[in-house]
Structure 1
Amino acid sequence: MSIRCAIVGCGLIADEYAHTLNASSLVDLVSCSDLDIDRARAFAARHTIPNVESFEHLDADLVVVLTPPSEHVGVASAAMRSGMSVYVEKPLAVSSSEAEALLGLATRHGVLIGAAPDTLLAPPIQSAAQALAAGLIGEPVAATAALLSPGPERWHPRPESIYGLGPLLDMGPYYLTALIHLLGPVVSVRGATTLRRPLRTKVSGDTFTATAPTHVEALLETAAGVALTLTTSFDIQGTTRPHLEIYGTDGTLLLPDPNFHHGVVRLRRRGEATWDTIPPAPSRSVVGRGMGVLDLAEALRTNGRGKATANLALHVLHVIETIEQAAATGTSQAVPAGDAISAQTDGRSR
């Protein structure tokens, strides 16, 4: 039985989702919706989607919410109240309180909720998880993650909303999700932020003003005592810093960019002079943006529970907000406890 799936929000990222979903027999992409009806119709034509509907008239088992983040909660809430499960692009919400309300609503209406990013399901992060479980680098000691970019105005036609979030809330979920999935929940943070270049220029030549910090540095500690360093920036013109490295007592893991689903994981062990490539972990599904939707669809089909859950996304939001608080106060801050997250588990939750 295929799970009937609808996409709400037919912007740039929706094409990647549609390609992944159409490559699987697990789902049937039955409809799409967008405030711009012409964009929705063009999207439906590109991906052979039979119906273009207003959001109020959607009829599906699973709704994929790809709207701007400010609309995530409203769209997801309406779908769940209508008895439809939802999968929400990152961030799950723009605040942890809104995310908590979404999880509560899903429980009350007996539906499933999943959240991006789903790159933790892809071969690179799964390979790293297996390497850690096998003790290939010994006990994890520290890790570093970095999103260093000049900013999305170089390519995005409407970057203003991204600069309302800033790199921490916009791109941080990819890096934090990978770190937390591999090394466990974060319990305390320190942070610092800057906004040195607020005036930005779009590809059209028009200018706009960034309102959120454009460079964020954070030092985090996990429940297991692993020290994590996170940098997210839209102010960096060039870098040789790796996207993600994990350091252990017996070696180092080098991971590709966790914003993507492909790439090579490398291992260098103590006493060795070269890096070895770790074979990619096998994937049971189509690999690409939308793997989390397929995971949730499988859970619906089997009355199970999905892996890329909203609990993990909620913990990520708690960490992001605590980094902001720590930066504002210049003090170490504790991350709210209670999120059902543990290292190298699927964090299953209804």
Structure 2
Amino acid sequence: MKAPVQCAIVGCGMIADEYAHILRQSPAVQLLACSDLDDQRAHAFAERHDIPHAAPLDDLLSDDRIELLVVLTPPETHRNVAAAAVTAGACTYVEKPLALTGDNAAELLALAEQHGCQVGAAPDTFLAPPTQTAAAAVEAGLIGEPLAASAALLTSGPERWHPAPEGLYAPGMGPLADMGPYYLAQLIHLLGPIQRVDGVTATTRPRRVVRSGPRKGHIFQAQALTHVDAVLRTTGGVTITFTTSSDVHASTRPHLEIYGSEGTLLLPDPNFHHGAVRLRNRSQNTWHDLPQADSRWPVGRGMGVLDLANAMRTGRPHAATGDLALHTCRVTDAIRHAAETSAAAPVTLDAPASRPQPRGDRS
């Protein structure tokens, strides 16, 4: 067996517990260390997940044992933390978004290539059985030729459950950058790259109220768009209606549907790794659930880390790549541009960076 990839987590907030839970279920990685700006939180996280070391980020970057750094820090810090990691020679897996702009994401990937490091990025939900089942159905022609799709994130906002949601409404964020990548990554995985944003409307409800935790009742101002409607067009000509909103209190609109010449696929919420995939074609009067195969990895947040770790050891391609995350950033940029200009916007299509050789064991 290949030796496990020595891994460290940077950022020990809410999402980190899910990552640690998944990573500790696989022999592909070994959680060696963790770091957080709050030293007490880092040590508590290390104790909770039986991680040997909790240390400042600079110490992790200077530790040659660490091969893979998982970046779970606030979004505005993703690029800089990941850049420091690849400069130090560590492969990196970054929570979404990879960066706040496509240009910053592209700069990060170029830096990683320069230093011979691989980059993976969330979301990894499309690696889970539901999306893989849907992909197999599309490839098998169960809905005929894909013609159109609809995707909708409709919520009243993360302030319902997050005790400090202000950062999720910072400039460059909002539901489009925070939750949009889950939907965009699935759409791109299933239907191919997006090349054009044909129409957008955007509205903002700036006054928000924290509704949970010790700051419940605190009022703050959103500095990002809180409701965006877009029409996307893939390179293959599939038209997608796409909505991300933190202004909707209730809805019956499906999270994601794909419409083909012979039928329709209904997918579960792309934010999660579980749920039924339903099919109805022209010869059927009712929906039926498609059987789902088992996953090669423990299912949950962190699947993409395990996929990257496997690639580092075997040289095989991984799926939740920095290139895919860059493309989602480019689509987000185009949506914002269309919203600001009320005009159609092309999506920059970057050529995938050449894949560096895995660093392998450092022992």
Fold equivalence (TM over 0.5): yes
1:173 matched to 2:181? yes
TM-score (norm. length: structure 2): 0.93
Q: Percent identity?
A: 57
State the AA in 2 paired with 1:65.
V
Which residue identity lines up with residue 209 of structure 2 in the other structure? T
Q: For 2:244, which of 232, 243, 265 is the aligned residue?
A: 232
- Aligned AA (2:141): G
Q: Which amino acid aligns with 2:180?
A: G
* Residue in 1 that maps onto 2:361: none
**Is the 1:3–1:27 contact (alpha carbons within 8 Å) kept by the matching residues of 2?**
yes
Is 1:191 the counterpart of 2:200? The answer is yes
Q: 3-state SS of the aligned residue for 1:322?
A: helix
The alignment of Structure 1 onto Structure 2 pairs a total of residues equal to 343
3-state DSSP of counterpart to 2:110? helix
Asked if 2 retains the 8 angstrom alpha-carbon contact of 1:306 and 1:349, the reply is no
1:77 aligns with 2:83: yes
CA offset at residue 152 of structure 1? Answer: 0.5
- 1:276 aligns with 288
Secondary structure, counterpart of 2:310 in structure 1 = helix
2:21 paired with 1:25: no
Instruction: Give the stretch that moved more between structures: 72-81 or 85-94.
Output: 72-81
Does residue 124 of structure 2 align to residue 118 of structure 1? yes
Structure 1, residues 253-312: CA drift from partner, whole Å, max 9, x if none? 000001111111000011311111111133111111000000010011113332110101
> For residues 200 and 299 of structure 2, what CA distance do their matches in structure 1 show?
34
> Is 1:290 matched with 2:290?
no
Distance 2:141 2:25 in 1: 35
Return the letter of the residue paired with 2:47: A
What's the counterpart of residue 343 of structure 1?
A: none
Query: Does structure 1 residue 330 correspond to structure 2 residue 342?
Result: yes
- Alignment counterpart, residue 34 of structure 1, candidates 29, 33, 36: 36
Corresponding residue number in structure 2 for 1:257? 269
The Cα shift of 1:331 comes to 1.1
> 1:328: Cα distance to partner?
1.1
Structure 1 residue matching 2:15: 3-state secondary structure? helix
TM-score using structure 1 length = 0.96
3-state SS, counterpart of residue 281 of structure 1: coil
Aligned to 2:209: 201
Alignment partner of 1:145 is 2:151 = yes
Q: Deviations over 1:21-63 (max 9, x none)?
A: 0011111001000000011111111101110011001131100
Take 2:350 and 2:29, find their aligned partners in 1: how far apart are those partners? 33
SS of alignment partner, residue 202 of structure 2: strand
Per the alignment, residue 53 of structure 2 pairs with: 51
Once the two structures are overlaid, the 10-residue window that deviates more, 268-277 or 229-238, is 268-277
Determine which of 218, 223, 232 is the counterpart of 1:211. Answer: 223
CA distance in 2, matches of 1:137, 1:34: 47
Shift, 1:334, TM fit: 1.0
Would the alpha carbon gap of residues 184 and 17 (structure 1) be closer, same or farther in structure 2, given more than 3 Å must change? same
* Structure 1 residue 192, shift from structure 2 partner: 1.2
Any unmatched runs of 5+ in structure 2?
357-363
What's the RMSD between the two structures over aligned residues? 1.2
Do the aligned partners of 1:314 and 1:339 also contact (CA within 8 Å) in 2? Answer: no
Query: How far, CA to CA, are the matches of 2:97 and 2:33 in structure 1?
Result: 23
Q: Which amino acid aligns with 1:45?
A: E
* Structure 1 position 348, deviation (Å): 9.0
Aligned residue for 1:145, secondary structure, equals strand
> For structure 1, which segment, 244-253 or 282-291, has the greater mean C-alpha deviation from structure 2 after superposition?
282-291
Q: Equivalents in 2 of 1:30, 1:236: separation in Å?
A: 42
How far residue 349 of structure 1 moved from its aligned partner, in angstroms, is: 4.3
C-alpha distance in structure 2 between counterparts of 1:20 and 1:282, whole Å: 15
- The equivalences for 1:61-72 within 5 A come to 61-72=67-78
**1: CA distance between counterparts of 2:100 and 2:122?**
14
